[in-house]
């Protein structure tokens, strides 16, 4: 795992940033901002210090005979764009077809949080979640759909509010089996 991006950026650097935009980092409202920002970025980038393999503990009890899709919808996504450090947020839907063992449902949310708490692009985030599930859970199929709004588009540049970007990753049987893919997409709605 790579080191978190905030590890060498200290309070003096944040004060310098505040000065560069014309602010006085010593004024009352800003005097504690550099240390607050450091704590915030430590939280927002905690995913660099997490290992997806430890999140996805699997078990066979209850999964040994289950052969239908398992889908969790509306998993909150909150991340930061690696191009502008601007937030993007929305929801993920994850589905998988077990192959003899299952994972605790809360672990899917933890997996999303692990990868979202890194500097990201939505396309990579979608693939990382899907690939990690495929590698560690070894299901017959994996599907991930992420829908997000990006502040780098809404608050600057084109500055149009409310647009949603949708990305998907279909692996295993969901990539090749049209009926299973259609079922996943229907359940994901």
Q: Which residues are catalytic?
A: 81-84, 122, 150, 152
Cβ neighbours of residue 115 closer than 8 Å, sequence gap 6 or more:
47, 52, 125, 128, 129, 132
d(CA 147, CA 17): 32
């Amino acid at each position: 795992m790579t080191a978190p991006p905030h590890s060498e950026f200290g309070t003096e650097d944040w004060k310098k940033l505040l000065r560069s935009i014309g602010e006085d980092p010593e004024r009352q409202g800003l005097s504690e901002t550099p240390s607050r920002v450091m704590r915030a970025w430590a939280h927002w980038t905690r995913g660099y210090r997490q290992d997806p393999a430890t999140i996805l503990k699997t078990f066979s009890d209850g999964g040994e005979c289950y052969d239908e899709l398992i889908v969790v919808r509306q998993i909150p996504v909150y991340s930061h764009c690696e191009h502008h450090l601007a937030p993007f947020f929305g929801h993920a839907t994850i589905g998988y077809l077990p192959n003899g063992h299952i994972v605790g449902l809360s672990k899917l949310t933890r997996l999303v949080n692990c990868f979202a708490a890194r500097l990201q692009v939505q396309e990579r985030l979608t693939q990382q979640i899907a690939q990690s599930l495929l590698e560690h859970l070894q299901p017959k199929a994996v599907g991930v759909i992420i829908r997000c709004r990006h502040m780098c588009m809404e608050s600057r540049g084109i500055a149009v509010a409310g647009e949603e970007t949708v990305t998907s990753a279909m692996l295993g049987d969901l990539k090749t089996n049209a009926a299973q893919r259609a079922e996943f997409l229907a359940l994901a709605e």
